[in-house]
Chains A and B, each alone.
Chain A
């Protein structure tokens, strides 16, 4: 990959994506072959908001490549609490490590960080913005299960604040994919994402009900609707209930529908879906390690 930093899925061309996914497939087949590929590499983990899984997945990936990680620790115990700027924090950590993985609650944080350091910055989620490494593992899962040819994907849930959705939607414009977005009116895609999709000439439709498209889908990507987005509990319940799937509903879907979710889920996918052939979300989560190994090996 040509880029030093990975800030947004918008940077990724089809070739970039395919290079990482091909490498991830090789690594998944024979993890031992890369066991000391990055022996002397030290990766800085800077998580300004908690995300145990994403952090563990980067930690695991780096160690499986023979490298090591250092962890900034929780924000509560760091100098950030004393009011240090992000720009200063990353400039200090730059001196310790070969690359920085950044998770931050504000949009644009990774972009800003990348302007202050010379080591590669990998965006591991910036507010409601982008989460490009999640997108790479999502794409890997889609390719393994459904392929990218003539694909119809439904993306459902909180599309407004869902950074995984924003990244994925951008990345899918590189492929022959028609995208259907299903959400309550109040949580539809932000203007900036709709703008980019329109500019790229992507085939995009928006819906408020899953029933309108369910039977045409090859992939259904479900995201969580967060309680804190709603002023009152009742309104949340009403909305969230409409964007929940269960095994009975999926009887109307194609037999080979792939159901994905970036996890954690709360109740938007009923447990009875887990026992169907549609459930792919745990496999998707496991793909995080080989995909991040491939990415780190390419970028560092």
Chain B
């Protein structure tokens, strides 16, 4: 247990997302749809020193495990993140995020003339490129500030 980790309280059951790119913690919460209103216990560490990243963010969510879809989108804004599943205060599973081939339903297309922004019965779908993502319908590429296009339910 390093001093850095101690700054954020331990959780009993839930998920610790570590090695988040510095400054992205609030976007990670947005992806998870967490704004505190439904009472989850959440701890956030921002810009804490990290050997690997220089500065990193860390998010701990009590009583919540992540879906694959959430992990997929997470990987786009925090490619170095590690996901630790905690049960009874022990890390029982630890894995790094990997970039998916596509993400569905989480990002909204920035092209106002894209058919997915209209009242059609489809979810948005983006192919994941080496840098950025690309709308599977209109081909628009988003390279920067992906987090700005997260559509939180």
Contact = CB atoms under 8 A, between A and B. Distances in A.
A104 interface: yes
Contact of A107 (B129, B134, B137): B137
A85 B111 contact: no
Interface residues of B, number: 20
The A interface, classified by DSSP as helix, strand, loop or mixed, is mixed
The B interface, classified by DSSP as helix, strand, loop or mixed, is loop
A296 interface: no
Nearest to A115: B122
Interface string A19-32: 00000000000000
Contact of A112 (B116, B129, B141): B116
Interface string B102-145: 00000000010111101111100000010000111111110100
Contacts of A108: 114-116, 135, 137-139
Nearest to A196: B139
Given A86-B120, A115-B122, A106 B114 contact: yes
A154 interface: no
Interface residues of A, number: 21
Given A85-B121, A86-B120, A106 B115 contact: yes
A192 B141 contact: yes
B134 A127 contact: no
Nearest to B143: A191
A166 to B, nearest CB: 9
Residue of B119, B139, B141 with most chain A CB atoms under a 10 A cut-off: B139
Interface of A: 83, 85-87, 104-109, 111-112, 115, 126-129, 191-193, 195
